[in-house]
């Protein structure tokens, strides 16, 4: 894959630029929405949920922010990835180019937006008087694994979107469900230990909890958590690549 990316370096860079410009085309704020959107969401969540959940959670603003930006990145990346093939069908039906370039460009564009929000998160950490430690460097690990996880899901979803148009509507409902079971605005500690363990079946929650553990608790998650994050990313990427390999030539007949 790296060899093909290098071969189509110009096309890939142009796709990323196009996706980035297209997302903010016609807006006054432009790329500023990458910062303003999560901040507005954070403000609403803080106003709504602080009274019910925030009193017992230390650094509740940062707690919310960690959950919000990880989930928003997951949602944005997979939702855009879902349309990666169908939205570019006029290109790959006329030119012989690797189809996954369209998906990767969407994910890189989402990653850039996510990187901006992480910088804003760190600024909020300073405001909330959270001590910066060397452990913050470890945040690179969940960023890499969630990036791979989103790519893998994008492979699966974009392929399914070609054959089943209804997947776009179903995914909107599913991401709403994921939001509520990812403990973005509440703590899982209020649940019995058995229920707490079930949350780890949700990959998004695992990535969120890693961020919170490093930033708020100042604790490095266990080796088991590291392996679980890698497992989720590796499995969905493997499944996605197999689907692309199996149905690569069939895509042309359904777009």
Express each pLDDT in 161-211 by its tens digit.
888 888 888 999 999 999 999 999 888 988 899 999 999 999 999 999 999
Output the CA torsion sign for 44, 49, 51, 54.
negative
Among 4-13, 86-95, 214-223, 235-244, where is mean pLDDT lowest? 4-13
142 vs 116, residue with greater confidence? 142
Q: What integer pLDDT is reported at residue 92 of this predicted model?
A: 63
Residue 17 inside a domain? The answer is no
Q: What integer pLDDT is reported at residue 47 of this predicted model?
A: 73
**What is the Cα–Cα distance from 246 to 255, expressed in whole angstroms?**
16
Question: Considering its fold, how many domains does the chain have in total?
Answer: 1
- 34-40 CB contacts, 8 Å cutoff, 24+ apart: 34/113, 34/116, 34/117, 35/116, 35/117, 35/120, 37/72, 38/65, 38/68, 38/69, 38/72, 38/117, 38/120, 39/120
Residue 67 inside a domain? The answer is yes
Residue 238 inside a domain? The answer is yes
Whether residue 4 is predicted with pLDDT greater than 60 in this model: the reply is no
Write the CA distances from 66 to 143, 148, 176, 204, 215, integer angstroms: 12, 19, 17, 11, 9
Helix (H, G, I), strand (E, B) or coil at 159: helix
Q: What integer pLDDT is reported at residue 141 of this predicted model?
A: 97
Residue 41 inside a domain? The answer is yes
Q: What integer pLDDT is reported at residue 74 of this predicted model?
A: 96
Among 6-20, 71-85, 122-136, 150-164, where is mean pLDDT lowest? 6-20
Q: What does the pLDDT average to over 105-131?
A: 89
Q: Give me 26's structure tokens.
A: 């016609």
Output the CA torsion sign for 145, 150, 151, 156.
positive
The pLDDT mean for the chain works out to 84
The residue behind tokens 């590291």 is 226
DSSP 162-223: HH-TTHHHHHHHHHHHHHHTTTSSS-GGGS-HHHHHHGGGSHHHHHHHHHHIIIII--PPPH
Q: What is the maximal distance between C-alpha atoms in the chain? A: 58
Q: What integer pLDDT is reported at residue 143 of this predicted model?
A: 96
Output the CA torsion sign for 245, 247, 253, 255.
negative
Residue 150 inside a domain? The answer is yes
Whether residue 231 is predicted with pLDDT greater than 60 in this model: the reply is yes
Proportion of the chain above pLDDT 70, given as a percent: 77
> Which residues touch 173 (CB under 8 Å, ≥6 apart)?
none
Residue 24 inside a domain? The answer is no
Rg of the chain over CA atoms, in angstroms?
19
11 vs 160, residue with greater confidence? 160
Q: What integer pLDDT is reported at residue 223 of this predicted model?
A: 96
Residue 133 inside a domain? The answer is yes
Residue 20 inside a domain? The answer is no
**What is the Cα–Cα distance from 231 to 50, expressed in whole angstroms?**
34
Q: What integer pLDDT is reported at residue 210 of this predicted model?
A: 97
Q: What integer pLDDT is reported at residue 73 of this predicted model?
A: 94
Q: Which domain holds residue 156?
A: 33-254
Q: What integer pLDDT is reported at residue 201 of this predicted model?
A: 96
205: buried, middle or exposed (CB in 10 Å: 19+, 13-18, 0-12)?
buried
206 vs 33, residue with greater confidence? 206
Q: What integer pLDDT is reported at residue 94 of this predicted model?
A: 67
Task: Give the length of the chain.
Answer: 255
7 vs 40, residue with greater confidence? 40
């Amino acid at each position: 894959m790296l060899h093909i990316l290098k071969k189509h370096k110009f096309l890939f860079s142009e796709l990323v630029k196009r996706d980035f410009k297209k997302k903010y085309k016609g807006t006054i704020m432009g790329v500023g929405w990458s910062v303003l959107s999560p901040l507005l969401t954070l403000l609403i969540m803080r106003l709504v949920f602080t009274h019910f959940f925030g009193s017992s959670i230390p650094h509740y603003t940062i707690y919310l922010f960690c959950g919000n930006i990880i989930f928003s990145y997951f949602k944005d990346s997979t939702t855009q990835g879902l349309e990666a093939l169908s939205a570019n069908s006029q290109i790959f039906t006329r030119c012989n180019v690797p189809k996954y370039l369209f998906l990767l460009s969407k994910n890189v564009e989402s990653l850039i937006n996510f990187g901006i929000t992480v910088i804003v998160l760190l600024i909020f950490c300073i405001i909330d008087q959270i001590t910066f430690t060397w452990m913050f460097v470890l945040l690179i690990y969940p960023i890499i694994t969630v990036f791979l996880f989103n790519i893998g899901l994008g492979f699966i979803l974009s392929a399914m979107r070609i054959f089943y148009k209804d997947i776009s509507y179903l995914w909107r409902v599913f991401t709403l469900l994921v939001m509520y079971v990812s403990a973005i605005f509440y703590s899982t500690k209020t649940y019995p230990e058995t229920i707490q363990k079930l949350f780890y079946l949700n990959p998004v929650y695992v990535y969120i909890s890693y961020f919170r553990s490093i930033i708020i608790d100042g604790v490095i998650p266990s080796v088991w958590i590291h392996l679980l994050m890698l497992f989720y990313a590796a499995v969905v990427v493997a499944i996605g690549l197999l689907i692309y390999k199996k149905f690569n030539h069939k895509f042309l007949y359904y777009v």
